[in-house]
Amino acid sequence: MRIVRDQDTAEEIVQATFVNLWEKREMIRSDISFRSYLFRAAYNTALNYIKHKKVVARHVASKQERIEEVRRNFVSHQPDFELQKRIDDALESLPPQCQRVFRMSREEGLKYHEIAEELGISKKTVEVHMGKALRILRDSLSDYLMFFLPIITLM
């Protein structure tokens, strides 16, 4: 209790010490004081607990620092207007029909069957154009995705 300063933790350490003692009962020498051995084992287990707690705290702090660093880098590295310009440039690089289908879907909010009717093409063709547009946009904006990926995986 003096080492860990928590009643529940101290009880868990004592319990773990007794379990460990029971598991290693054949290896304990009979020429030493059992009481001294028991207190030393509990003391060492408590110290190991404190060391482990410090390692976990450092790990959590390090993880938080990495998350904050990635966020700061993303915010400072790529302002919103630059990202929007890259999106606009990527959209302009699409083939005309593909670009038209994408804009009708995303900007006008039309459903695939509505786009197909308006353009006089099949719904499947609309799906193909949207798939192509999304693939081109994903490839064009892949360097931006690299900023989001560490944030997502760290959380």
Query: Do 114 and 89 belong to one domain?
Result: yes
> Do the domain assignments include residue 71?
no
Q: What does R_g of the chain's alpha carbons equal in angstroms? A: 31
pTM for the model stands at 0.45
> Do the domain assignments include residue 72?
no
DSSP designation for 4: T
Query: Do 60 and 15 belong to one domain?
Result: yes
- Tell me what the pLDDT averaged over the chain comes to: 84
DSSP designation for 77: H
What number of other Cβ atoms are within 10 A of residue 85's Cβ? 11
Q: What burial class does residue 34 get, using C-beta atoms within 10 Å of its C-beta: 0-12 exposed, 13-18 middle, 19+ buried?
A: exposed
Instruction: Give the C-alpha separation, 60 to 67, whole Å.
Output: 11
Helices (H), 33-95: 34-77, 80-92
* Largest separation between any pair of C-alpha atoms in the chain: 95
Q: How many domains does the chain have?
A: 2
- 41 lies in which domain range? 7-65
Task: Tell me the pLDDT of the chain (155 aa) as tens digits.
Answer: 899 999 999 999 999 999 998 998 888 887 888 888 889 999 999 999 999 999 999 999 998 888 888 777 666 655 566 777 888 888 888 899 999 999 899 889 999 999 999 999 999 999 999 999 988 888 887 776 665 555 444 44
